[in-house]
Amino acid sequence: MSATPDTVTTPTFQLDGEEIPFQPGQTIIQAALAAGKYIPHLCFHPEFKPHGSCKLCLVKISGRPAASCTTVAQAGLSVESEIPEVQDKRRTLVQMLLVEGNHFCPSCEKSGNCMLQALGYELGVMSPHFPQIFPVRPVDASHKEILLDFNRCILCELCVRASNEVDQKNVFALAGRGISKHLIVNSESGRLADTNFSATDKAAQVCPVGVILPKRVGFAIPIGKRKFDLKPISDPGASAGCAEHAEGGA
């Protein structure tokens, strides 16, 4: 079968019954978002290599579960995303993330701009379901421009990746294992002030939740008027081209 250039058609796969075109090499979530179809995600960011850790982007491909941010699209695949079985699992993942940290949204500067919270709204998460762990995680307010509130970290490593790959500063890392895994700052004192971190770093812009917060601007836009207060995270206006990542900060 030799195709001449004008008979070559863009390959497609099916997402919830809809044909999604893709470029060879694109992952399922990349092709879906480019086609204006939202698939939930937290650790995926269009500017970074897939991480595959949060599993919010779970889909079923020909009946088998897979992370759509790490699975390369292939012609003819049948992908299911918005089916009750998958949505239920995503809901459980959000609940587990909520009880693992200390997520007191009313006092969080990120509220309304937070991807975890917006996914809770999107999936209709009404309760934490699980017992709260209430971990003890002191904040780091040492830096002049940035507050670190570790209580809300979901370990997506976007700041780690951004600081390494873009800023070339290697300010953040994950330490520990299993339930005691946590974000650390790479300085001898462990304090952010003792690194060369700056508020203009890429790593200061990518946190999907309320950990890395610019100081003194937190409530410039009042609660109730923020991005996901106005539009659900699945809205093409909020997610096409991943606008939810574009603005960063609080």
Partner 1 sequence: MDRKLKVATTSLAGCFGCHMSFLDIDERLLDLIQLIEFDRSPLTDIKHCGPCDLGIIEGGVCNAENVHVLREFRRNCKILIALGACAINGGLPAQRNQLDLRDILEEVYQTEPGLTHGGIPNDPELPLPLNKVHPIHEVVKIDYFLPGCPPPADAIWKFLTDLLAGRTPHLGHGLLHYD
Judged by the rule CB under 6 A, the positions of this chain that interact with ligand FES are 41-44, 52-57, 67, 69
By CB under 6 A, is residue 183 in contact with ligand SF4?
A: yes
Q: Should residue 244 be labelled a site residue for ligand SF4 when binding is judged by CB under 6 A?
A: no
| Nearest-angstrom CA–CA distance, 147 and 12 | 44
Q: Which residues contact 131 (CB under 8 A, 6 or more apart)?
A: 99
Contact 73, 13 (CB under 8 A): yes
Q: Are strands 172-175 and 64-67 parallel, antiparallel or unpaired?
A: unpaired
Q: Minimum distance from CB of 9 to ligand SF4 (Å)?
A: 39
Of residues 30-89, those binding ligand SF4 (CB under 6 A):
none
Burial grade of 30 (CB within 10 A; 0-12, 13-18, 19 or more): buried
- From the list ligand FES, partner 1, ligand SF4, none, which binds 134 (C-beta under 5 to 8 Å, kind-based)? partner 1
Residue 210 interacting partner from ligand FES, ligand SF4, partner 1, none (CB closer than 5 to 8 Å by kind): ligand SF4
The region of 25-33, 77-85, 136-144, 210-218 touching ligand SF4 under the rule CB under 6 A is 210-218
Q: To 5 degrees, how large is the angle CA 124–CA 126–CA 129?
A: 120
Q: Who's near 133: CB < 8 A, 6+ residues apart?
A: 99, 100, 101, 179
Sole binder of ligand SF4 in the list 56, 212, 213, 250 (CB under 6 A): 212
Q: Computed over its alpha carbons, how large is the radius of gyration of the chain?
A: 19
Residue 41 touches which of partner 1, ligand SF4, ligand FES, none (Cβ within 5-8 Å per kind)? ligand FES
Residue 211 contacts which entry, ligand FES, ligand SF4, partner 1, none (Cβ below 5-8 A, type-dependent):
ligand SF4
Output the smallest distance, CB 183 to ligand SF4, in A.
5
Q: Per CB under 6 A, does 171 bind ligand SF4?
A: no
For 188, which DSSP code? S
* Distances 162 to 29, 167, 197 between C-alpha atoms, Å: 20, 6, 12
CA-nearest of 167, 159, 137 to 207 is 159
Identify what 121 binds: ligand SF4, partner 1, ligand FES, none; CB under 5 to 8 Å per kind. partner 1
Considering beta carbons, is residue 59 or 154 the nearer one to ligand SF4?
154
Q: Tell me how far the alpha carbon of residue 206 is from its chain's centroid.
A: 9
Answer with the entry of ligand FES, partner 1, ligand SF4, none that 56 interacts with (C-beta below 5 to 8 A by kind).
Answer: ligand FES
